[in-house]
Amino acid sequence: MASLVQANGRMVHRCARAALAACFLLAAAGFAHGQVQKECNAKPKIGVACPSQQFKVFLEAFAENPELQRAFIKFPLQYRYVGFNTEKDDYEDMTRTVGSYSELMKDITSAGRFLNRKERKSAKFVMRILQNRTVEMKANPGDMTVMVGVPDSDVAELFYFQRANRCWQLYIIKNDNPPG
């Protein structure tokens, strides 16, 4: 019994050290790139500060942290996809409104989730910020579009972020991949 308690204590100590090291590395990376933000960053309803005023840094933090995703997704969210219209007996563009984060996670499990680095690597997906993209959904010059998918293929989802309250919010997910 004593050896089990001692083994558990060592495991907790190792986990704590690993978490501390990860925090240190993230902080060091932020300082190295000059991206550490001040207290003046936007704070959404739930009190989470914008991770960065630079979109690339914001996106990296957003992708890795479900709490940031919950805080910086604008609901109701539009989920645009290719679906089958039984009346027309053909595929067509469809839009679904998602009202909450839990609904997004529950109902759109295979698509629509913003994958973290480990999940993208496992699926052989890449994440790219698309530059100078003229899309009907981009309303403001500060809006950003992110593609997550398989390089050099049609397998991808587009994530549209708009600048609001001094930070970005995900407001549209577009999946053009036909089902099946």
pLDDT at position 65 is 93
pLDDT at position 84 is 87
- List pLDDT tens digits, range 25-49: 233 333 333 333 322 333 445 589 9
Same domain? 71 vs 123: yes
Same domain? 25 vs 85: no
Same domain? 16 vs 102: no
Task: Give the residue among 31, 48, 60, 64 at the shortest CA–CA distance from 165.
Answer: 48
Same domain? 1 vs 82: no
Residue with tokens 């989470």, as numbered in its chain: 48
Same domain? 161 vs 74: yes
* Residue 24: pLDDT band with limits 50, 70, 90: very low
Same domain? 12 vs 84: no
- Residues of the domain holding 21: 1-32
List Cβ<8 Å contacts ≥24 apart for 42-45. 42/165, 42/166, 42/167, 44/71, 44/72, 44/165, 44/167
Same domain? 133 vs 164: yes
Q: Rounded to an integer, what distance in angstroms lies between the CA atom of residue 18 and that of residue 16?
A: 5
Same domain? 89 vs 162: yes
**How many independent structural domains does the chain possess?**
2
Same domain? 51 vs 94: yes
Q: Give the mean pLDDT of 80-93.
A: 89
pLDDT at position 32 is 32
Same domain? 42 vs 26: no
Residue with tokens 């994530």, as numbered in its chain: 159
Same domain? 20 vs 105: no
- Residue 180: inside a domain, yes or no? no
- List pLDDT tens digits, range 121-135: 998 999 999 865 555
On the question of pLDDT at 76 being above 80, the answer is: yes
Q: State whether the Cα torsion 151-155-161-167 is positive or negative.
A: negative
Same domain? 61 vs 21: no
- List pLDDT tens digits, range 147-161: 999 888 888 899 999
